[in-house]
Amino acid sequence: MIKKFAILLFCGFLTLSIQAQNFGGGVILGLGASQVGGDNLAGFHKAGWLLGVFANKSISELLSFQMEMTYIQKGSNNPNNTDLHEYDLNYLEIPFFLKYQTKYQLKIEGGFLTGILINQTERYSDGIELINMSNGNFNTFDFGVGLGIDYSLTEKLTLNSRISNTLFFSPTREYSAQTFINRGNYNSVLSFAIHYNF
């Protein structure tokens, strides 16, 4: 059901992006490096794809608003082949970002994002998958914040670099014993993407 909803939402967003007047738009292709906070595997060792579309609109000479819809692969990877488990978490993500144009070819961006979990896998470092998630399933939604920069390569191509993290009060999976700061697992992602403007 979630997969069907995600596909319909993606198609609807693409249609609106193309038909909307006074809006720019384009496609996104990139890579992400991610980690899952709280899994005892430190470091952005998990590589994944970032694919999607975006629509944007200028608010003023210096400010613009951008909404995206992306497929992004998150999770964790265990490079040391220890007993700690790895996670594959695939999301349909909807970021909302405000962008500020500097004097140069750089834009500074900040905003919020909502991820819808499409599927999840847990495995040992040797690749053997667990039939059931050992500490329970991850939440359907991932609410986070992001900061980044845009660098204009050409009129059509923009290089985007971004860091995002799950909000601390809304973990992607809760611990049975929580503290105020550490309530469960959190997604952290460094992404690098090319935005092609139509």
pLDDT per position in the chain (198 positions), as tens?
A: 555 555 555 555 555 544 555 689 999 999 999 999 888 888 899 999 999 999 999 999 999 999 999 999 999 998 876 677 899 999 999 999 999 999 888 999 999 999 999 999 998 877 788 888 888 899 999 999 999 999 999 999 999 999 999 998 899 998 765 666 667 899 999 999 999 999
Sequence length of the chain is: 198
> pLDDT at position 38, please?
81
Tally of CB atoms within 10 A around 167: 14
**What is the amino acid identity at position 121?**
T
The two counts, helices (H) then strands (E), for the chain are 1, 9
> pLDDT at position 106, please?
95
The H or E element spanning position 12 is helix 2-19
> pLDDT at position 31, please?
98
**What is the amino acid identity at position 87?**
Y
> Per the structure block, which two tokens stand in for 90?
């695939």
For 45-197, CATH gives 2.40.160
> Per the structure block, which two tokens stand in for 49?
């794809």
How would you class 134 by CB atoms within 10 Å of its CB: exposed for 0-12, middle for 13-18, buried for 19 or more? exposed
> pLDDT at position 83, please?
73
pTM listed for this prediction: 0.86
> pLDDT at position 27, please?
97
> pLDDT at position 39, please?
81
> pLDDT at position 128, please?
82
The H or E element spanning position 63 is strand 63-76
